[in-house]
């Protein structure tokens, strides 16, 4: 090695040329690595979440930016194999983009707003159904199917009250720490309920056609 260098470095000008070549190679290499690292870093900080729920015979797609790097939504991929091209404004942290589609969306393509060449494919999360919970110290009362006549409901026991109405309604009896009994008028349903439960009453109008004071 030393002999080789001695032969190579017979003159200072050759030494300078060698330095220039070496430095250029190092700078080019470092720049390439920096460009790659920058690309990967920007890609890693794209944090979109895409979700879909069925709604009124279509699909309601929503995309939110959960990160701090802004991005634009470029394309929506549907289950039928087709795509929808969109070009949204940059979405910042916490901002949503929504779209209604007639086929199930399965993926979206988002690109960095900082460097539009950096894009990722994002799977669309599907939906689930859940019960709306009732607090342990309450009874949820649901009255369905009204419209033809008025009805009234009286409850007593750990809690007491009366409601008269002529439309669908959902309400809580709260607080209640023991069983509650019901007196129904133009309603079909259970005669008692426990805390934390849901009671559903259906309106039944045997006196339809009669004036309200004769129900």
Task: For residue 84, state whether it binds other proteins (rule: CB under 8 A).
Answer: no
> Which 3 state secondary structure label does DSSP give 16?
helix
Task: For residue 5, state whether it binds other proteins (rule: CB under 8 A).
Answer: yes
Contacting range for other proteins; rule: CB under 8 A; set: 15-23, 153-161, 178-186, 205-213: 15-23
Nearest approach, Cβ of residue 207 and other proteins (Å): 25
In terms of Cβ atoms closer than 10 Å to its own Cβ (0-12, 13-18, 19+), residue 61 is buried
What Rg value do the Cα atoms of the chain yield, rounded?
34
Contacting range for other proteins; rule: CB under 8 A; set: 82-90, 124-132, 159-167, 202-210: 124-132
Q: Name which position in 92, 170, 194, 202 contacts other proteins (CB under 8 A).
A: 170
Please name the residues in contact with 116: beta carbons below 8 A apart, sequence gap of 6 or more.
72
Tokens of 43: 């890609």
Q: For other proteins, how many residues bind (rule: CB under 8 A)? A: 60
Residue-by-residue DSSP string for 34-100: HHHHHHHHHHHT--EEEEEEEETTEEEEEEEE-SSS-EEEEEEEETTS-EEE--PPPB-TT-EEEEE
Task: For residue 161, state whether it binds other proteins (rule: CB under 8 A).
Answer: no
Task: For residue 66, state whether it binds other proteins (rule: CB under 8 A).
Answer: yes
Nearest approach, Cβ of residue 116 and other proteins (Å): 19
Q: Name which position in 21, 24, 28, 55 contacts other proteins (CB under 8 A).
A: 55
Cβ proximity to other proteins: between 39 and 181 the closer is: 39
Task: For residue 131, state whether it binds other proteins (rule: CB under 8 A).
Answer: yes
CA distance 144 to 209: 20
What is the 8-class DSSP label of residue 156?
E
Q: Are the C-beta atoms of residues 212 and 150 closer than 8 Å to each other? A: yes
Task: For residue 49, state whether it binds other proteins (rule: CB under 8 A).
Answer: yes
159: nearest Cα among 194, 119, 115: 194
Using CB under 8 A as the criterion, which residues of the chain lie in contact with other proteins when the complex forms?
Answer: 2, 5-6, 9-10, 12, 15, 18-19, 22-23, 26, 29-30, 33-34, 37, 40-41, 44-45, 47, 49, 51-55, 60, 62, 64, 66-67, 79, 96, 104-106, 123-135, 138, 140, 142, 144, 170, 172, 174, 198, 200
């Amino acid at each position: 090695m030393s002999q080789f260098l001695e032969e190579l470095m017979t003159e200072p000008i050759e030494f300078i040329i060698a330095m220039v070549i070496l430095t250029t190679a190092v700078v080019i290499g470092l720049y390439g690595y920096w460009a790659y690292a920058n690309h990967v870093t920007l890609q890693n900080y794209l944090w979109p979440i895409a979700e879909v729920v069925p709604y009124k015979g279509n699909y309601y797609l929503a995309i939110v930016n959960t990160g701090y790097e802004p991005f634009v939504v470029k394309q929506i991929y549907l289950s039928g194999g087709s795509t929808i091209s969109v070009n949204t404004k940059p979405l910042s942290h916490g901002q949503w983009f929504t779209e209604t589609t007639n086929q199930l969306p399965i993926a979206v393509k988002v690109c960095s707003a900082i460097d539009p060449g950096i894009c990722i494919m994002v799977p669309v999360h599907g939906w689930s159904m859940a019960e709306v919970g009732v607090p342990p110290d309450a009874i949820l009362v649901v009255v369905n199917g009204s419209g033809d006549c008025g009805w009234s409901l009286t409850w007593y026991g750990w809690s007491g009250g009366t409601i008269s109405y002529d439309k669908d309604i959902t309400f809580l009896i709260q607080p209640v720490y023991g069983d509650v009994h019901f007196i129904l008028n133009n309603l079909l349903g259970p005669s008692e309920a426990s805390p934390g439960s849901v009671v559903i009453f259906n309106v039944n109008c045997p006196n339809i056609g009669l004036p309200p004071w004769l129900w």
